[in-house]
Structure 1
Amino acid sequence: MSIALYTLGGTIAMAGTGAQGVVSRLSGADLTAAVPGLAEIPLDVRDVEAVPSAALSYRQILDLVDAAGAAVAAGATGAVVTQGTDTLEETAFLADLVWPHPAPLVLTGAMRNPTLAGPDGPANLLAAARVAAAPAARDLGVLVALNDEVHAARFVRKTHSTSTATFASPNAGPLGHVIEGEVRLLTRPSRHSPLPPVDADRLAATRVALHTVTLDDDPALLDRLAAGLDGLVVAGFGVGHVPPPFAPVLGALAERIPVVLTSRTGAGSVLRHTYGAVGSETDLARRGLIWGGLLDPYKAKVLLRMLLAGGAERAAVAETFARRG
């Protein structure tokens, strides 16, 4: 059985150095030819339009998920996607929300391009292919494989701008490792049911924003931001706190659109009922904000947009976040 390999752009596929920096793209054939040991894994290489990961859209990722799903339905053991790492934590989570197959879909990339000493792309691609081919990786949804670690899409974060060890799962740790070519999984979290398909036009028209609260922030910015929105994610301080003047503004917004409360810290959960001051998590819950749980602001934004594009009402949104957060 083969592994379907879909190659996008990103650092892993950059080769030539020009006046504007590294820009040239390696094809899938170029990528695989440069990886010792990869020949032992049958690959069906499918080059996709090369774009920096910052330029990717929800629609492109959902189309890629459909293509990978068709490949595994036709007999592929699993699928691998190579892309830039800038948005990989979000694209992986988006794919995981809709991936229905037992076969693994594994995303990977690189932090050092091939023009640098010690590029990590070849090792990451080999690890991802081995994970996609591993029977132990089935029924785990979408995975991320970099630095010989295996992460669940719903937990993984990019935590450093340049380090090859940038991808981590602060709340859960990696699911496993690739050791001497063997995929060793240490834990198996339960999977959530996939979300139903969303209409492409409705998805494109669904507007969800993210506001990160900062010291001495101006609540008037929220009114300007919220004009024309279908939903809002707020990244609050610590366990889910905002400056007191924000509380009535967020409460008024929550009467109009779903507003999800998350933490800007990068790890840990928003609390429910520990603190009671104005602007605390308890106060904001009373005002109608939706609990984001362990979901970081970026993943919460992806989930909220998908739910709203699928026609979910506020109660359904809150129930979904309660289960997945």
Structure 2
Amino acid sequence: MKKIALLTMIGALCLTGCSIVKEEDKTAPALELTKTRVQVGVNSQVDYQSYIQKAIDEVDGDLISAVQYNEIDTSKTGQYEVQYTVKDESGNESKQTLLVDVVKYFQNGIFSPLGVKADTVDNPEDVTVLVNKLHQIPEGWTPDDLEPVIDNANQKLRKEANEAYTKFYNAAKAKGIDIYSISGYRTNATQTLYWNNQVKVYGEEYASQYSAYPGRSEHQLGLAIDVSYTTQGDRLSEKVADSAIGKFIISDAYKYGFTLRYKKDKVAITNYGYEPWHIRYVGIDLATKLHDQNLTLEEYYKQ
């Protein structure tokens, strides 16, 4: 009875003079963006809110409406940063950065690489490396295991890619399919010549669609090769798609580690025009995955 009376007394004292101590909130809100880098056209309006994936605090709940960000000037091409910041009621803060490339878009939906700051890849020797308008090869890097391909001593591929290409070539020939190697490895000087010539003859829009800016070409990796059904005339055109080798690329290239890099239905993703002649070695495992799931390298690296 004495114990009960003591507890009752303590309870009464707490009701009149005690207060519950609230634990201090030291956890910052969880702030996530939908992307880390985006491209927008010159003079376009940026929907900054659309890039916020979530802004949630354990105590304050949904804070998306409280997210602050700076706006950028889209009147000039170049790379800009948008800093997203959100604070909870306790003053805990989270930040995320969105890189925005302001680019020159053409009517075909492809943007020019001019004025675009490319990230330099740190693994150019990896057969699965992504090189495109936004990712470039380190300056001065060249493959050290180039070999001439089976049907053209003037065209080369890296050893692993060349061994796979030889198997692919022999398989095509065994089926009676005409296949000719048109363009394999290119030096930076050669790619510069290609780019400048395309711009001079056909203009920047065409060059941006069918030629890579120097340092951003898969041909410089020694892993890509253009093939055709002929060595004459317009050998690299969409006619390749309807040829026996074009169809063989679609059905069998992945079995040898190659992927059709620039597909007709993926132009907006690869940012290059449809090239049924351009195959890229990525290894059998990845090539099979890209084939089975209809993915580009860009889509694969976003997974």
TM-score interval, normalised by the smaller of the two chains: under 0.3
TM-score in terms of structure 2 length? 0.25
Which is strand-richer, 1 or 2?
Answer: 2
